Chain A
Amino acid sequence: MVVDDEPAIVKALERNLRAHGFQVASATTADDARSEFERWRPDAVVLDLGLPGRDGLEVIKAIRARSATPIIILSVRGSDADKVGALDLGADDYLTKPFSVDELLARVRVMLRHVARPRTGTDAVFKTADLAVDLEHRRVTVAGAEVRLTPTEYDLLRAFIANPDKVLTPLMLLRAVWGAEYGSEAHYLHVYVARLRRKLEADAKRPRYLKTEPGVGYRFVAQEEIALSSD
């Protein structure tokens, strides 16, 4: 489903998504978006934040109240606070206008793949490229070689692989790893992410898995498609 108050964008996205085999519903206001969502129950939502009447953030809340449908924010609001706000409310990804159609399509595909094969917590071993995490035995290997992680590092990595390819804000990660009372101690997080990178990445300066989303947070890249499109 595409929600945007700009008819030209809605039209272009509809065309492109249909051309790539998706069925597309669209809405131009927050209220429309909510009723259309109820009617169609889409697999993914591309959502603009600046909607007439109620704000797009309201739509995120409304959708998250009843489903885990992936939401990709597509907005001109480029400030970090806007992005983090939308992600903290439960959006899965964020693209700033103007955007590349290719990148948007790639993100949509990735989101849908995760929906199709929910991996979180069900597989005993998480594998992507040359990284493998044995969740049962808390064993981490890179290209077959075992990597020793401290308990905190391991918890952080597990928080990442529980949400593959999704942008995670510092708030989300801190709460997941350190507990609900944390939220503003982002520097802990930066230190541990740096350590994880040194241990997991072939080149910690140009990470393959743990990418920084500047000003917003981090993204654990599981799928090559994202790794390529966001470079």
Chain B
Amino acid sequence: MKRPFVRTASSYLIALAAVAVMSLVIGLILRLIPIGNLSTLYLIAVLAVATRLGRGPAIVSAIAAFVAFDWFFVNPLHEITIADPAEWVSLGVFLITAVITGELAASERARAKIAQRREREALLLYDALRLMADPDLDVALAAVAERVRAEMHVDRAEIDLRIAGTEHEAAAGGIDSPGAVTELLGHGRAPTDTASGQPGRWIRVVPPKTAGPVAAATLARRFEVAVRAAGGTIGHVTLLRDDRGESFTEHQRRLLELIATQLAALAERSELQEVVTRGEVLRRTDELKTALLNAVSHDLRTPLASIIASTGSLRQHDVTWTNEERDDFIEAIEQQAQRLSSIVGNLLDLSRIEAGALKPDKQLHDVSALVDDVVSRMHGTTSRHDLHVQVDPDLPPVAVDEVQIDQVLANLIENATKYAPPGTTIDVTARREGANLQIEVSDRGPGVPASEIEQLFAPFYRASGRRSASGVGLGLAVARGLVEGHGGRIWAGNRPQGGSRFVFTLPYESSPEPVGKR
């Protein structure tokens, strides 16, 4: 340890220098005004040394002052003689003064140091607690690690914590982890002095990882404190320092243990939080299941009821139906069966979207053909509305999964027919909007209340006051899933003139080979 020695030596030199300066001052004063006993001036120097540098230098300065006074100012000059008993007294006073003031100053300094340390401890703990409050656990741990690293003046601080079966790790600082170092040693790469201290090439750490605090004296450069919770050790706080640093002190160990205790509390809190979250997720899932069941019971049964009523009617033995009536019943059966099939299709799509299993099979398609296809297929559904289609003729082909985008457009049009009163106009427009194709379906219905726009695309959601509108409330959820799967965006809003508009975009991108117009 070079540095403390240098510091001690220099403080003794300063003590001697102070005495020399004071001797000079006394000599000058005596030149100008001959005063009897000026030796008390040395006390100033001794006091100054004692308060600044502590007891040892103070004593040295006291002795030096006595010798200097005797040598320079007491007859016979330039001779160390203590003939007069008064000089003995003088020496004694010097020494006692030096010792007492030195002692006082030293203890005062020690107290100040302790107070300062306490303050830093409190500040560190406070900071650590504040940083741990971050909702993102990994961010919190990284911040705490960085704070500990800065506070402890080490090169690297690591925290590992096991919370609810998951390992969380955070590190701050440049030295490679001890794991990597051990591996290095294990492979027998020769450590060289020149490499020490460089990030990633740190070498001198050999001790194996041991649980619990490691005695500061035995391990100067790697320091580990266990984080203990009710169920045993759940992690560690590890400090690493390159080998030129000082030893870890008892004080640092205590501080680190305080941090470890807080980390344990944090872990416990997160674990509880996780339990609560899991409960909440279960509850939501349960709610969703209930919603699904209700939706299924209502929206699958309604078409089923129509089908069964129609078949039951056809089977009435005591009634003779006209051909027209029979056809009507059969048509109703057909329509309702199709409706069922579309609901079931949407349900399946939604579950596939949620499972991430619905990957678009993108190929270039002509927009106008795509839109026309859907419109003509939906003729039955839109028969009670006036459907206006407007596709920009200059639109370049777009890379989409035809089946999926068909479904999106069909769902939006079907949605419009449900909410807009019969006889009103439904507009379908397609145009280019920057790097996107934008398709819009707008109606002249009651519009969407602003408060509900956000929830519209949630599964099983239906605009308020229209509980019985047919459909499970899946169409928009499926549309969103499919559009987002294409990298597009979908949103809803209201037309300034009244009525709602549903818009989705599909990105034009460098895409696979064109399939051309179909």
Contacts and interface: CB of A to CB of B under 8 A. Distances in A.
Contacts of B303: 8
A101 B306 CA distance: 10
A225 interface: no
Nearest to B465: A53
Contacts of A65: none
Interface string B438-463: 00000000000000000000000000
A97 interface: yes
B302 A6 contact: yes
Interface in A75-130: 76-78, 97-102
B247 interface: no
Nearest to B466: A52
A8 B306 contact: yes
B298 interface: yes
A99 B298 contact: no
Interface string B479-518: 0000000000000000000000000000000000000000
B306 A9 contact: yes
Nearest to A18: B319
A51 B302 CA distance: 12
A12 B467 contact: no
A20 interface: yes
Nearest to B319: A19
Contacts of A100: 308, 312
A99 B467 contact: no
Given A5-B468, A8-B335, A50-B468, A98 B308 contact: yes
A15 interface: yes
Interface in B57-78: none
A69 interface: no
Contacts of A163: none
A13 B335 CA distance: 17
A6 to B, nearest CB: 6
B301 A97 contact: yes
A52 B302 contact: no
A76 B304 CA distance: 10
Nearest to A5: B468
Given A11-B332, A102-B312, A78 B297 contact: yes
B297 A76 contact: yes
A76 B472 CA distance: 14
B468 A98 contact: no
B305 A97 contact: yes
B313 A6 contact: no
B382 to A, nearest CB: 16
Contact of A16 (B306, B308, B319): B319
B316 A101 contact: yes
Contacts of A11: 328, 332
A98 B301 CA distance: 6
A101 B313 contact: yes
Contacts of B301: 76, 78, 97-98
Contact of B305 (A15, A16, A98): A98
A116 B431 CA distance: 66
B312 A101 contact: yes
Contact of A101 (B309, B325, B466): B309
Given A76-B298, A78-B297, A101-B316, A12 B470 contact: no
Contacts of A102: 312, 316
Interface in B262-312: 297-298, 301-310, 312
A15 B313 contact: yes
Nearest to B328: A11
B363 interface: no
B307 A98 contact: yes
Given A50-B468, A97-B302, A101-B316, A12 B310 contact: yes
Interface string B319-331: 1010001001100
B305 A99 contact: yes
A19 B467 CA distance: 32
A100 B304 CA distance: 11
A15 B329 CA distance: 10
Nearest to B317: A102
Contacts of A101: 308-309, 312-313, 316
Nearest to A49: B468
Contacts of B110: none
Nearest to A54: B465
Contacts of B306: 6, 8-9, 12
Among the interface residues B305, B306, B328, which one has the most CB atoms of the partner chain A within 10 A?
B305
A8 B335 CA distance: 9
Nearest to A9: B306
Given A13-B309, A98-B305, A51 B319 contact: no
B96 interface: no
B243 to A, nearest CB: 75
Contacts of A20: 318-319
B312 A97 contact: no
Contact of B467 (A8, A16, A52, A97): A52
Given A5-B468, A8-B332, A50-B298, A76 B305 contact: yes
Interface string A12-41: 110110011000000000000000000000
Contacts of B329: 12, 15
Given A9-B309, A52-B468, A98-B307, 14 more contacts: A6-B306, A8-B332, A11-B332, A12-B310, A15-B313, A15-B321, A15-B328, A19-B316, A51-B468, A53-B465, A97-B302, A99-B309, A101-B308, A101-B312
11 contacts: A12-B329, A12-B332, A13-B309, A15-B313, A16-B313, A19-B321, A50-B467, A76-B297, A76-B301, A77-B298, A100-B312
Interface of A: 5-6, 8-9, 11-13, 15-16, 19-20, 50-53, 76-78, 97-102
The 6 A-B pairs at the shortest CB distance, nearest first, are namely: A101-B312, A97-B305, A8-B306, A98-B305, A19-B319, A98-B308
